[in-house]
Structure 1
Amino acid sequence: ELVARIWPDSQLSLARFDERTYADLFRYLKYSESQLRQYRQRFACETLESTVEIGGLLKHKVAEPLSAVLQNLSSQYLGGDPKALQRSIELSIRLWLTINVKSPSVAVGPTFPFEDPLEWTPPMSLASLIETRFGKSDFSGDSKVRVRLEGSFTAAYLVNICGMQIQWTDYLSDHLRHDASGRNLVVYRHKICLVNHLKSGDACPIPRDILTEALDTLNLLFPFGDAPTKQLLLKENQLPFYQLGGCGRARDLELSSYEYWREEVDGLLKSFRSPPKSWKQLATDRRDLKEYATFWIAVMVAVLTIVSIPCNIIQATYSVKAYRVSLAQVN
């Protein structure tokens, strides 16, 4: 029922409703409900259902600044604290759009590693907030140069071969972020939300091309039908994510197709294409490794040469001693 309230325009069918595909979303809703109970007195809405209803009201106010939204909704929450109302509004956005709007001036509860909360200031509209967060990448590369991604460019490869770790996030706004070390990759887990947003049409304030590109990045990194991908998602307890398939989108291997997450994809591509850093990586790598193999063979020859130097010295020393002993015996 709560899912239907979040997406009343997506034409969800109870007959075809599969709870397994919503398992992670239900977990997120349950966590949000526990946080709401813990900080109940600091929110204008005390239940998850009433919080979701605010999202329904916001659909018609996406172009209005936050200050106007607060003023318009305050009439429905007489005597309420403006900060409490803003907390409920921001929570409704986190539930509805899975965008991590959590302004520092009103935030309550923990903020986890790899999360980057967004601040919604009074002069800014929800549409502007979304546009600012999901702007097209300011990519410094030559846009005229066609870059074709390898078919083996997958999250499974980045994890199994490059040694990355996946940090799953409930927020689309944190999707494909990675830390300075390049070891942790943040991936948006709610693929089903993207599908339902697309089915909702104009009722979703996130532009359609952003939603489709988010789907494309997931299909790129987690291709349906790829055995290592399935094994990885099974290990990560994300098999329902895999079972959704491509959601009607073919896997796109053209880097230029990615406008909103191009910089992030390009960063992952550099990690993917970097030379192997260990013998294990060299042995399990599926790319054309002639250049890298030549490099490592040269390194091995150099190491063996260095190791052989003291051995040759020892051998020469014993040869001299043996020669002197033989001379002494002759004399």
Structure 2
Amino acid sequence: MSFAPELFNDAPDTQTQAKLVSLFWPGTSWRSEDFSAFFRYFNERILLLKWSYCIDHNQFAAQTFDDLIAVVEVMRIKNQRTREEVSRSIRQLPQFQRKQATDLQILNSMALAGCVWLTMEIRMSDQLYGPASGASEAASWGPLDTLVDVVKQRFQTFKFNPATGEAQLDAGFIAINLMEVCGIRITWTDNLIDHLYYDSTPVPRRWWEFWKYQGSGGIVYIYPHKICLASHHASTDILGKELLEETMKSLDLLFPFGDSRTRGHLIKERHPFFLAETPTFPRTMDLSDFNFWRRRIIILYDVFHAPPSRMHQIWKDRRNPMQWWTFWLAGLIVIITVVFGVISAYMAPKSLGLANLTYRLSILQACNQDTAI
């Protein structure tokens, strides 16, 4: 029995959301506030396929939420089977046999299910599937690849072994400082593959907002769906425990729990993932604890240690207190010197005039004394 609302016509209500979560990630506790960001992405991803210039939703075998759940269940159970075997199993389901679903419809439904379930852009290597959801990179699923193979090929460990002195990260290496000190703008991404990707292209400043500081240090993409990572960690092995744990640690690294500025920013951005019930891992500043995201963290860390380029950034840069005080004391001395220089320049003509008057007065006094004699 399927839900009354159809996948491409109605956004899932609270009851439907709860069932989707329970069947996407069996055993996961449901709280609407925890999954609000995920279902915002879910609705946007479905809506993207309905635009007039995109593919027709009739090219999908899954037309209801029940259909989508059925596709996800087969993909989860048969994650060690090739794409062709998974597609064949889905086609044999009663609801798709009644519809006489084609290979194209099945593959499109598998790609959509992978995108919303794994929150990563998945593309069939030999089949076009709709527009990308703003993702920079995607995983390619070939006919002979298993879903686990696709994930392993896309997320590989970084072989760099830092020296002892380079392994420990600075305690100030957090997202708020990347924004305020380095001028980097944070963009939230629903594609796990794009997590921590840094684009060094300066963010253009609109001319009518010349007065507003917008940052000049590029953009870093952050994946915020921590509750999805925790749900996969508790229910599936497709993404791998190590990748899931390391991604959650990277979020804890950049958005430390208890930091008031971080908390305020996440609430403002409607991504308070620190409030979700997720596994707790010790916050690590050791670079050697990151294998999948190490290269991207190193790139960000190099940018973090680059000298600030604007006065706004210099004022916010408290990484080296001695350097900060030295710079601004020197700046204060320069300002005081300039102020006294201006005052001296202004008073110099008046002093000269006063000296001239004093001289003339002394001459007049001398002349008067000579006349009296």
Residues 82 and 144, structure 2, Cα contact 8 Å, conserved in 1? yes
1:175 aligns with 2:171: no
1:101 aligns with 2:112: no
**Which residue, out of 274, 282, 286, partners 2:306?**
274
Q: How does 1:1-331 map to 2 (within 5 A)?
A: 1-8=19-26, 11-13=27-29, 17-35=30-48, 39-76=56-93, 77-78=96-97, 79-103=100-124, 105-112=127-134, 114-139=135-160, 142=162, 146-181=166-201, 183-200=218-235, 203-239=236-272, 241-244=273-276, 247-288=279-320, 290=322
Residues 179 and 185, structure 2, Cα contact 8 Å, conserved in 1? yes
Alpha-carbon deviation of 1:48?
Answer: 3.1
Letter in 1 for 2:290: Y
Q: Which residue of 1 aligns with 2:345?
A: none
Letter in 2 for 1:196: S
The two structures have a TM-score, normalised by structure 2, of: 0.72
Tell me how far apart the structure 1 counterparts of residues 102 and 332 of structure 2 sit (CA, whole Å): 69
SS in 1 for 2:188: strand
Structure 2: gaps (5+ residues): 1-18, 202-216, 343-373
Residues 52 and 95, structure 1, Cα contact 8 Å, conserved in 2? no
Residue deviations 1:273-326 (CA, integer Å, cap 9, x gap): 111222222222121154577689999999xxxx9xxx9xxxxxxxxxxxxxxx
Residue deviations 1:125-164 (CA, integer Å, cap 9, x gap): 111110011110243x535555211221110111122111
Letter in 2 for 1:83: L
Q: Which has the higher contact order (CA 8 A, sep 6+)?
A: 1
Residue deviations 1:76-128 (CA, integer Å, cap 9, x gap): 3344221221111111111221121023632113542x532222111221111
Tell me how far apart the structure 2 counterparts of residues 12 and 111 of structure 1 sit (CA, whole Å): 26
CA distance 1:72–1:237, change in 2 (3 Å) = closer
Tell me how far apart the structure 2 counterparts of residues 65 and 86 of structure 1 sit (CA, whole Å): 13
Tell me how far apart the structure 1 counterparts of residues 244 and 132 of structure 2 sit (CA, whole Å): 27
SS in 2 for 1:45: coil
Letter in 1 for 2:28: L
Residues 317 and 324, structure 2, Cα contact 8 Å, conserved in 1? no
CA distance 1:246–1:143, change in 2 (3 Å) = farther
CA distance 1:34–1:111, change in 2 (3 Å) = closer
Tell me how far apart the structure 2 counterparts of residues 261 and 47 of structure 1 sit (CA, whole Å): 36
CA distance 1:267–1:301, change in 2 (3 Å) = farther
Tell me how far apart the structure 1 counterparts of residues 333 and 108 of structure 2 sit (CA, whole Å): 64
Residues 111 and 129, structure 2, Cα contact 8 Å, conserved in 1? no
Residues 28 and 234, structure 2, Cα contact 8 Å, conserved in 1? no
Tell me how far apart the structure 1 counterparts of residues 166 and 132 of structure 2 sit (CA, whole Å): 43
Residue deviations 1:190-213 (CA, integer Å, cap 9, x gap): 11111111221xx33111010000
Q: Which runs of 4+ in 1 moved over 4 A?
A: 35-38, 143-146, 289-302
Residue deviations 1:250-288 (CA, integer Å, cap 9, x gap): 211101100000011111111111112222222221211
Tell me how far apart the structure 1 counterparts of residues 193 and 104 of structure 2 sit (CA, whole Å): 23
Residue deviations 1:15-49 (CA, integer Å, cap 9, x gap): xx431111111212222343456632111111233
Aligned pairs, number:
307
Higher-Rg structure is 2
Alpha-carbon deviation of 1:180?
Answer: 3.6
CA RMSD, Structure 1 to Structure 2 (Å): 3.3
Letter in 2 for 1:18: R
Tell me how far apart the structure 1 counterparts of residues 321 and 309 of structure 2 sit (CA, whole Å): 13
SS in 2 for 1:21: coil
Tell me how far apart the structure 2 counterparts of residues 49 and 178 of structure 1 sit (CA, whole Å): 38
Alpha-carbon deviation of 1:71?
Answer: 3.0
Q: Which residue of 2 aligns with 1:320?
A: none
Letter in 2 for 1:107: Y
Residue deviations 1:58-80 (CA, integer Å, cap 9, x gap): 12322222223223333333442
